[in-house]
Structure formats: structure tokens, C-alpha cells
Amino acid sequence: MISNVTKIISAIMSFVFVIVTMANGDKPGTEVVINEDATNPYIMEYGNPQISAHRSGANLAPENTLMAFEYVIENNDILGVDIFEFDVQITRDGELVLLHNLTYDDTSNAKEAFGHSNVTPYTYTLEQLQCLNLGENFKIDGEYLYRGLRGEDIPDNLRVVNCETILDYIENNSNEKEFQYIIEIKSPAFWGKKAADKLYQILEQRDLLSRTIIGSFLPTASKHIDENYPDMMRSASIKEVFQFYFYCRMNKDLDELDIKYVALQLPYGANVMPWRIEIINLGTKEVINYAHKYNIAVQYWTCNDAENAIYLTENGADAIMTDKPDMIYETIYNP
């Protein structure tokens, strides 16, 4: 009985230690430690993080649209994008379409078009979704550039698009640059498994598995990938991130765990952690050093702040996902 009580107290004390130290930055004198034996292709040379266009550059053009990808490709000399990050969900007829939110309500005219709210991809076919204007609520400097476009007035690059079209456009217009991809599966429940199956097929056919990391907040999707597609690289789930952080703070041996992920995709900055930023810091040298020690890349979202970008770069981040790749590129590479 005493032994059990002691174990419980020890576990509670360990948890409290982790929590109360989460907000702390690195100890004075902490330095970046380079893993010279790293084989992970997503671990970058120190001070040269990759720039990832989050939702294909959500501040530049309507997110997750062909128009956004076209903008990045045509202007990449001043954007410096290395990685395209986008989100996929499966439709009723088994197509993978790009969408970040669970519904089209916030980014399009979906409520008007279908006569109800909560319009989800898996309840409609790709053809049915073609009536949507994905630029409906996009604005720059307070102006809605594409609001009100309907029917034939909606340009093709603002309509719902499938994953194959996007990947083929990039690969055919990349000017010999080999872009990498971060693709997040957003379809919930069993739809996530179907989305993973379809995504694997698409990537394998285009020989893009080695240039793509799959992300998902949904444990069903991650588990399905591990069980069926061991050659599909993925990032850590939410549970795995907490597990990693505990091991890091307690300086435990991560090799005790059966790690399946190749990257941590972590939030950083008040814009993505408005109330949590004071109690947790995932951007420290300690976190990045520990990940690199175990051949794990560290990528941060969604960094739209120059000061945060400098901080993460100096601490050894491997990639910065941003809605503003032009600003981040200028900050890091052309100060």
C-alpha cells in the first residue's frame, strides 16, 4: 500500500514539475546542439529553417485554393517557400479536397448555396461542391476582393479542388525545385481512414512519399497510417507531443518508446496559443535539441511574427509554417 501511495505521489510531483516549468525558457548558457549524424531529411542545417506556406499562404490569397498555390509558384523568388502545407478531407464520392475547417461555412457561400449551415465535404460530391466560391470571405486591407461571385463568374482557381490537381500543378510548374509537402488529414472518424487510403495512393503514384509529411490531430488516422502505410512519414499526434514533452523535461530516454513519427509540428506564439503562451514554451533550445538527438525534426505553426521567427531560427527550428511567407523570408534571409 505504501509503495502504491509513493508511486502516485511521485507521479503527481513529476507532473507538477513539468507544468510549473513549461513557461520557462532555456537555462542561461544553453546552446544549440547539432546532431551531426542526423539522417532525417527534414532536419535542416542550423540557422536555415525551411519556410512553409501555411494553408498555401492564407494571407496572400484565399486559403487552400488553386489561386493561392499559383500565387506562391509565380512569386516564390520573394516568398522563399520550400514546403506547401495544406489540409485535405474526403468527399462523398471519395475525392480528396482541400479544406482546413470541418465545414465550408466560414470560407465560402456554402450556407447560401445549400440552404443550411455545417456544409461538410463528406456529405456532397466534388461536382456538387463546384458551386462554391472559396474566395467569398477573403479580404486584404479590409476589402473583400471576390465576394459575391456566383455561377460562371467564379474563376476555376477559386472553386473546390482535389489534391491531385494541386500536386500536379505544383510539380509541373516548380521550375525544377523539389518542393516538400505537409498534408494534414482533417476528415473525422472513419472518413479519416478513407482519406489516408486515398492520400497514400495519390502520393505513391506521383513518387511523393519521400517528400511529404502527413499530419493529423485525429488518432484514428495516425493509427491507420502506422498499421497500413509504414513508408508514409507522419508527424506526432497530440498525445505523442505531450508524451515527448514529458520525456524531454524529465530527461528520460525517448528510445523507451516505439516512436513512429519523423517530425513534431508544434504551436508557437500568442496568435496560436493566446491563453496558453504563458504556461508553455515549446520553442526552446532544450525542446529542439532533445528532438534532434532522436532524429526528429521540429516544425512550428503558425508563425506570423518576425520576432518569433528570429527566436525559433536561433533556437534551431527546422521549419516555420506561416500565412506570411514573404515577411518570414525577408526577416530570416534578407534582414
pLDDT tens per residue, range 10-33: 444 444 444 445 556 888 899 999
pLDDT of residue 9: 44
DSSP assignment letter at 152: G
How would residue 261 be classed by pLDDT, with cut points 50, 70 and 90?
Answer: very high
- Name which of 42-46, 153-157, 168-172, 217-221 the model is least confident about: 217-221
pLDDT tens digits for 185-211?
999 989 999 999 999 999 999 999 999
Q: Can you tell me the mean pLDDT for 77-86?
A: 97
Q: How confident is the model at residue 240 (pLDDT cuts 50, 70, 90)?
A: very high
pLDDT confidence of residue 280: 80
Sign, Cα dihedral of 94, 96, 102, 103: negative
Mean pLDDT of the chain: 92
C-alpha cell at position 101: 475547417
- pLDDT at 242 (0 to 100): 94
The per-residue pLDDT for 75 is 97
Q: For residue 272, is pLDDT > 70? A: no
Distance between CA atoms of 135 and 115, rounded to whole angstroms?
19
What pLDDT is attached to residue 27?
86
Measured CA to CA, the distance from residue 327 to residue 306 in angstroms comes to: 7
Asked if residue 271 has pLDDT above 90, the reply is no
**Cα–Cα–Cα angle for 57, 101, 303, nearest 5°?**
40
Burial of 225 (0-12, 13-18, 19+ CB in 10 A): buried
Q: Is the pLDDT of residue 7 over 80?
A: no
Closest CA to 158 of 179, 144, 168: 144
Inter-residue contact 85 to 53 (CB < 8 Å):
yes
> Per residue in 304-322, pLDDT tens?
999 999 999 999 999 999 9
User: Is the pTM above the cut of 0.85?
Assistant: yes
